[in-house]
Chain A
Amino acid sequence: MSLTHARHPTEDPPWARWTILALVLGFLALMLILPLAAVFAGALRKGLEASLAAISDPDAISAVKLTLLVAVIAVPFNAAFGICAAWAIAKHYFPGKSFLITLIDIPFSVSPVVSGLIYVLVFGAQGWFGDWLIDHNITIIFAVPGIVLATIFVTFPFIARELIPLMQEQGVAEEEAAVSMGASGLVTFFLVTAPNIRWGLFYGVLLCNARAMGEFGAVSVVSGHIRGLTNTMPLHIELLYNEYDFVGAFSVAALLCLLALVTLALKTGLELTQSVRGRHV
């Protein structure tokens, strides 16, 4: 038998390879690319100008601003939380560790609407802290703080989940080496731990950011849908859609898609530079 016909033991025969590939590509086209194309087609149905007008509407602009503001607060907060949680879980032993890991998963397993309702129950006018908050003139529900809180809650597992396995795999030997050479805890973190987790952290930040900008359910419950004040982009899209302003809805949706695509492009770009520098990492 000639070598060209020899197949690697883990390699599938060509018909199987092509069938699987066709299935995957077909599924992606139907479920992902087609709807994405539909969004852009819907946005441009009455021409680019109508679409741009919908985006530059003051309410739309305030929705974009609010979405970015929420992401800018929620992502750094969850980055800090994720690093702390992963540090505690991966580098230390303490009782109740697996329980903590389970707790971190709660936002993933609970419906976002329920997450939103929790905050209404706690901080709403009829909630546990309702009277106290009213007495002190603090508004959380149906205002920006509530939206930020709900977004943080829904997105906090992303970065922690990305970092925990990474840090567990890396162990503590490098940190021990640094400390035994006289480095302080902070120096060890910034010179040894941080460079080792930077790609995982970055990836987690991107995922967290994408979800923070796109979150609908939890935000919808706590927002109150006040146009120009407490509407994020996803809420604004729903509002426009329900008013039969399809061009407006699809235009803002297309903008949200573009933001997500920018995030993805950033990630891909970084992965490319990482594989170029890969031998050093």
Chain B
Amino acid sequence: MSEPSDAPPMTISIEGVEKRFGRYPALNGVSLEIGHGELLALLGPSGSGKTTLLRLIAGLEFPDRGRVLFDRDDVTYLHAAARQVGFVFQQYALFKHMTVAKNVAFGLDVRRKNKPPRAEITRRVDDLLKLVELDGMGPRYPSQLSGGQRQRVALARALAVSPRVLLLDEPFGALDATVRKSLRRELRHIHDATGVTTIFVTHDQEEALELADRVAILNHGRIEQIGTPAEVHDHPVSAFVCGFVGEANRFEGVVERGLFTAGPVMAPAPNVADGPAVAFVRPHDLSIAGPADGFETHVGRVVPQGATGRVEAQTLDGRWIEADFARDQLVGLEHGTALRLAVKQAHVFPAS
């Protein structure tokens, strides 16, 4: 496998960055460290500031306050052209009037200093097209390619300049589910092969958890939590993170002496102050209870999902609950069956 990046991978530090668009605050004091060779996901709903943060790193926007450091160099106001970043745009932004090969070679062709000789550029383009599995597509034009192929060209083009960091803005957003899955695996594979520090923006939590070494969850221009996929999924620090990452049933109720109650639903809530609260219960954190435990529900639908099955059930006071069980536990369950459920574990947060 070729080694598209000659420069050693880089650490990126974001220090107290703020950015407003008119009166709308896009980033409210974001600080973040990205280790060299790391694959980081910026995850958040639209308007959370994740794309703005990515564009600040690329030099396509400049912050009102705060600093961006590449290794130890302050690049906050450095021109985008001087940053040596590779940027992959959501809508590919390929040059329509150039062939695939010309697109990939662009960053090398426009170099004034250290421009490699023609033969080397050609070789480099061939290597990169091979890396993204587009060998022989060089003479085609972007309009002759499928969406997934265009995104691969965009990726190869960004890698051609030996970027010190690779930035991807919703790279799979415009693709259909199957292509998205295979490209995700490919990006991970390319990242492992090249070792380039990579940051990608997504609103798809599944994508972030599957692909990234660490996930930073943004909301309203702030980082709510940053950690490994397992950390943010299993130990969410806020109601927002819990609701956004992974699936969960959400209940509004009260906490009294370490016990959360919402109608018939009860869940342990140690270390949560008394008062109004919200509880999130993952579908796999529910169990089938004996007659003395839990609460009564009626099964609405049973949906098989591989080794497990999803039960959609309704409590007697009308709340819908989704619960996952092993397939053998589901035998005999059908629409209308009475089922007692108990909460094994819940993430409880004081209501804000």
A residues in contact (CB < 8 Å) with B? 173-174, 176-184, 187, 191-192, 195-196, 279-281
B81 and A180 contacting across the interface, CB-CB below 8 Å = yes
**Nearest A residue to B59 by beta-carbon distance?**
A180
Q: Is the interface of A mostly helix, strand, loop or mixed?
A: helix
B183 within 8 A of A: no
- The answer for the CA separation of A196 and B59 in the assembled complex, in Å, is 24
Q: Which of A173, A181, A280, A281 contacts B107 (CB 8 A)?
A: A181
Is A183's CB under 8 angstroms from B87's CB? Answer: no
Chain B residues, CB < 8 A from A179: 60, 79-81
A187 to B89, CA, bound (A): 20
| Contact among B85, B89, B97 for A173, CB-based, below 8 A | B89
Interface 1/0 per residue, B68-90 and A, CB below 8 Å: 00000000000111111111010
Identify which of residues 122-173 in chain B touch chain A, using a CB-to-CB cut-off of 8 Å: 141, 143-144, 157-158, 160-161
Q: How far is the CA of A180 from the CA of B94 in the complex (A)?
A: 13
The distance in angstroms between the C-alpha atoms of A25 and B144, with both chains bound, is 38
Q: B225 an interface residue at 8 Å Cβ cutoff?
A: no
Interface pairs (5), CB distance under 8 Å: A174-B94, A177-B157, A178-B95, A191-B110, A196-B96
Chain A residues, CB < 8 A from B23? none
8 smallest A-B Cβ distances: which pairs?
A181-B107, A173-B93, A180-B87, A183-B110, A195-B97, A177-B93, A179-B80, A182-B81
B91 proximal to A (CB < 8 A): yes
Q: Is the CB of B58 within 8 A of A180?
A: yes
Residues in B with CB closer than 8 Å to A173 are 89, 91, 93
- Please report B residues at the A interface, Cβ cutoff 8 Å: 58-60, 79-87, 89, 91, 93-97, 106-107, 110-111, 141, 143-144, 157-158, 160-161
Contacts of A180 in B (CB 8 A): 58-60, 80-81, 83, 85-87
**Given A181-B106, A182-B111, A184-B81, CB of A280 within 8 Å of CB of B87:** no
Closest to B93 in A: A173
With a cutoff of 8 Å between Cβ atoms, the chain B residues found around residue A279 in the complex are 141, 143-144
B97 touches A181 (CB 8 A): no
Q: How far is the CB of B90 from chain A (nearest CB, A)?
A: 8
- Knowing A195-B97, A279-B144, A281-B96, the reply to whether A176 touches B81 (Cβ < 8 A) is no
Closest chain B residue to A178 by CB distance?
B106
A281 near B93: Cβ-Cβ < 8 Å: no
Residues of A within 8 A of B160 (CB): 181
Q: How distant is the Cα of A180 from the Cα of B111 in the complex, in angstroms?
A: 12
In the complex, what residue of chain A is closest to B169 when comparing beta carbons? Answer: A173
**Bound-complex Cα distance A28 to B94 (A):** 42
Residues on A with C-beta less than 8 A from B161 are 181-182
Question: A192 and B60: CB pair below 8 A?
Answer: no
Among A181, A182, A195, A280, which residue has its beta carbon within 8 angstroms of that of B143?
A280
Q: A183 vs B79: C-alpha distance in the bound complex, in angstroms? A: 11
**Which chain B residues border A181 with CB–CB below 8 Å?**
81, 86, 106-107, 110, 157-158, 160-161
Instruction: Point out the residue from B60, B82, B89, B96 that lies within 8 Å of A280, measured CB to CB.
Output: B96
User: Which residues of B have CB within 8 Å of A281?
Assistant: 96-97
A126 to B81, CA, bound (A): 54
Residues of A within 8 A of B89 (CB): 173, 176-177
